Structure 1
Amino acid sequence: MTTVEIGLGLQSDKGAGDYAELARSAEAHGFDVLTVFGDLMYQPPIFPLLEMAAATERVRLGVACLNPYSLAPYEIAGQIAALDLASRGRAYLGLARGTWLGAVGIDQQRPLTTLEESAQVVYRLLRGDAEGYEGRVFRLAPGTTLRYPVHRPDPPLLLGAWGAKGAALAGRIADEIKVGGSANPSMVKVIRERLRPGAEAAGRNAEDVGIVLGAVTVVDTDGAAARARARAEVAMYLAVVAELDPTLEIPADLVARVKELVDAGRHEEAGRLIPGDLLDLFAFAGTPDHVAAQAQALIDAGVRRVEFGTPHGLSDRRGVELLGSAVLPGLRRS
């Protein structure tokens, strides 16, 4: 039986030294994976990842996710090679189409082709394949290879996706698929079935592709304060993810009103509109016992990894401490 991993997802908005401190604490508490988000207009995730690699010995490290519209595949190959070298073989690569890139003038055409071909280019470069590659979006001229040694030619690949086509692609080529912004156990079965056609077409077992669910996390002994903070955080992305979850029927007027308030900068007011049962599907929020129960429900539904996302608690350090000392010990993970 596969043992479930528990990870932390970190935003790249902190100062030098902060990531090393959080990483050491997380590893000491028994977390398995540390992820840094690759969100638009935040620091490039390679900076905190390299800092955390130097501060840890055991945890896996990766970015969820880089996108090949704003970072060329040969640059992605270089970054994953650098992280894998610095961590002595603990890196994984996360790829996704990215969001909100229209704000910087980037048009996201052919998303599935772009993701698949970028993965092709990255792994050909890591393997030292000099034959060249001619895709619809990306190409490598024959003889084009990396001019430095790499630690591993095949670090694990994670694709970020919700939809059927993206999941089918993950079924064909990825080791893991991440559904970001969800804590809904019902999504695990949906994603498993969406993986299946791609996996079967590639002669793979869909069960071998790990499903990762991650979402905003706010844990505190003051459960009401934690849930209030989480509501404000979830309000900022509810309009994006609510329509992606086919297991839910959320009133359109609720989503529209939340979005209207968020657009006006009234995040706390927007969050107060989100009912508690809906909050639990898009965030891990409340006391340690409540958050542990949410995580266990995902484990029981069949996830390979639960990822507790930022801000973790009313403060990062306090949140990581509570997750490590009061949530992890009670989880049944195999």
Structure 2
Amino acid sequence: MSAPAGVEIGLGIQSDKRPGDYARLARAAEAHGFDVLTVFGDLMFQPPIFPLLEMAGATSRVRLGAACLNPYSMAPYEIAGQLAALDLASAGRAYLGLARGTWLGAVGIEQPRPISALGEAAEVVYRLLGGRTDGFEGRVFRLAPGVALRYPVQRPDPPLLIGAWGAQGAALAGRIAAEIKVGGSANPAMVAVMRDRLRAGAESAGRSVNDVRIVLGAVTVVDRDGAAARAKARTEVAMYLAVVADLDPTAGVPADLVRRVTELVDQGEHEAAGRLVPDDVLDLFAFSGTPEQVAAQAQALIDAGVGRVEFGTPHGLTDDGGVDLLGGAVLPLLRRETA
């Protein structure tokens, strides 16, 4: 499947809210003109299907999906069912986000053969949605001949997003996906890196690398008080710096800085850890500051060729305030530049 044309601007929402909060934020986001609403699939947060269904009922235009589900904690036939439910509830606005998952060892789940697992999970999902009954025999997953969904679906082929940083995951996305998401990055240099990593898979499948939309998303904190916004973003980035710093081959974050930040995070000293994060490192892994600063960061990604910018939680010093500033002050600056 080819990615839709044009640059999209989306919001990434954490599933830690009360019933009704998701609908309120979704209505505000759609009214402001955002294109996509994503719910994260992070370990020990609410399952994304709950907020996504609430948001589907509160909106009529935005695309909706989880970024991401994984085939280790959820079987592919269950993924197919949740995707079908969201697509039905949203009248055909769902996308499927798949990734290998993070921190699953904490709940005793191993992750063998991740590329095979992701590719085969997608194959099973789309065979089920498409009504195929000829069976499938993979290295990780299988469908016996005759197995089929026992309910109607909205569409057989909602777009597929693969969440990945590495070369093998990107090559898989190049072969089969409409989008690839690099989560935790606001670094324009990663756009060219991911395009190169996509190319091998795309060409092997007879596709153009331009068929796959590159999505970059990261922690976002915007406020008229830019210093307060950046201070909060530093604390957020500190908590995952050890993961993303090693994934970005262009970042060059000093190992000693990563070690010191990680030690403070492990001790529960999150604000102290954040204070160690310098401005240049912060801007690689978060959108933060005044609306003008955040818009400039997003525009740099657009200029580098990204297909979607995703502003991730917490959005601002408060959820509603952040969404309103992103929609009312940041989005108009981006639309003006891309008009």
Name the TM tier (shorter chain): over 0.9
Q: Corresponding residue for 2:53? A: 50
Quick one: which amino acid aligns to residue 5 of structure 1? E
Q: Please state how far the C-alpha of 1:58 moved relative to its aligned partner.
A: 0.3
Find the aligned partners of 1:268 and 1:2 in 2 and give their Cα distance.
Answer: 41
Match of 1:39 among 42, 58, 74: 42
After TM superposition, the structure 1 = structure 2 runs for residues 80-229 of structure 1, keeping only pairs within 5 Å, are 80-229=83-232
Do the aligned partners of 2:251 and 2:284 also contact (CA within 8 Å) in 1?
Answer: no
Identity %: 78
1:247 is the counterpart of 2:260: no
Find the aligned partners of 1:287 and 1:268 in 2 and give their Cα distance.
Answer: 20
SS at match of 2:110: coil
What is the CA deviation profile of residues 174-211 of structure 1, one whole-angstrom value per residue up to 9, with x for unaligned ones?
Answer: 00000000000000000000000000000000011000
Q: Please state how far the C-alpha of 1:2 moved relative to its aligned partner.
A: 3.6
Match of 1:60 among 58, 63, 67: 63
SS at match of 2:338: coil
Find the aligned partners of 1:109 and 1:3 in 2 and give their Cα distance.
Answer: 36
Aligned length: 334
Find the aligned partners of 2:157 and 2:135 in 1 and give their Cα distance.
Answer: 18
Find the aligned partners of 2:158 and 2:5 in 1 and give their Cα distance.
Answer: 19
Q: Please state how far the C-alpha of 1:74 moved relative to its aligned partner.
A: 0.2
Unpaired runs of at least 5, structure 1: none
Find the aligned partners of 1:284 and 1:146 in 2 and give their Cα distance.
Answer: 42
Quick one: which amino acid aligns to residue 164 of structure 1? A
SS at match of 1:165: helix
TM-score by length of 1: 0.99
Find the aligned partners of 1:174 and 1:238 in 2 and give their Cα distance.
Answer: 27
Moved over 4 A (4+): none
Q: Please state how far the C-alpha of 1:249 moved relative to its aligned partner.
A: 1.2
SS at match of 1:63: strand
Find the aligned partners of 1:93 and 1:187 in 2 and give their Cα distance.
Answer: 23
1:264 is the counterpart of 2:267: yes
Find the aligned partners of 1:120 and 1:3 in 2 and give their Cα distance.
Answer: 27
Find the aligned partners of 1:178 and 1:123 in 2 and give their Cα distance.
Answer: 20
Q: Corresponding residue for 1:333? A: 338
Find the aligned partners of 2:307 and 2:172 in 1 and give their Cα distance.
Answer: 18
Q: Please state how far the C-alpha of 1:333 moved relative to its aligned partner.
A: 3.2
Do the aligned partners of 1:5 and 1:333 also contact (CA within 8 Å) in 2?
Answer: no
Do the aligned partners of 1:216 and 1:284 also contact (CA within 8 Å) in 2?
Answer: yes
Find the aligned partners of 2:259 and 2:80 in 1 and give their Cα distance.
Answer: 40
Q: Please state how far the C-alpha of 1:17 moved relative to its aligned partner.
A: 0.2
Do the aligned partners of 2:218 and 2:287 also contact (CA within 8 Å) in 1?
Answer: yes
Quick one: which amino acid aligns to residue 146 of structure 2? G
TM-score by length of 2: 0.98
What is the CA deviation profile of residues 151-182 of structure 1, one whole-angstrom value per residue up to 9, with x for unaligned ones?
Answer: 00000000000001110000000000000000
Find the aligned partners of 2:91 and 2:283 in 1 and give their Cα distance.
Answer: 37
1:234 is the counterpart of 2:267: no
What is the CA deviation profile of residues 73-93 of structure 1, one whole-angstrom value per residue up to 9, with x for unaligned ones?
Answer: 000000000000000000000
Quick one: which amino acid aligns to residue 330 of structure 1? L
1:320 is the counterpart of 2:323: yes
Quick one: which amino acid aligns to residue 42 of structure 2? D
Do the aligned partners of 1:3 and 1:333 also contact (CA within 8 Å) in 2?
Answer: no
Quick one: which amino acid aligns to residue 176 of structure 1? E
Find the aligned partners of 2:303 and 2:134 in 1 and give their Cα distance.
Answer: 45
1:79 is the counterpart of 2:82: yes
Find the aligned partners of 1:105 and 1:231 in 2 and give their Cα distance.
Answer: 31
SS at match of 2:326: helix
Calculate the aligned-residue CA RMSD, in Å.
Answer: 0.8
SS at match of 1:196: helix
Q: Please state how far the C-alpha of 1:130 moved relative to its aligned partner.
A: 0.3
Find the aligned partners of 2:123 and 2:5 in 1 and give their Cα distance.
Answer: 28
Q: Please state how far the C-alpha of 1:304 moved relative to its aligned partner.
A: 0.6
Unpaired runs of at least 5, structure 2: none
Quick one: which amino acid aligns to residue 53 of structure 1? A
Quick one: which amino acid aligns to residue 282 of structure 1? F
SS at match of 1:66: coil
What is the CA deviation profile of residues 207-228 of structure 1, one whole-angstrom value per residue up to 9, with x for unaligned ones?
Answer: 1100000000000000000000
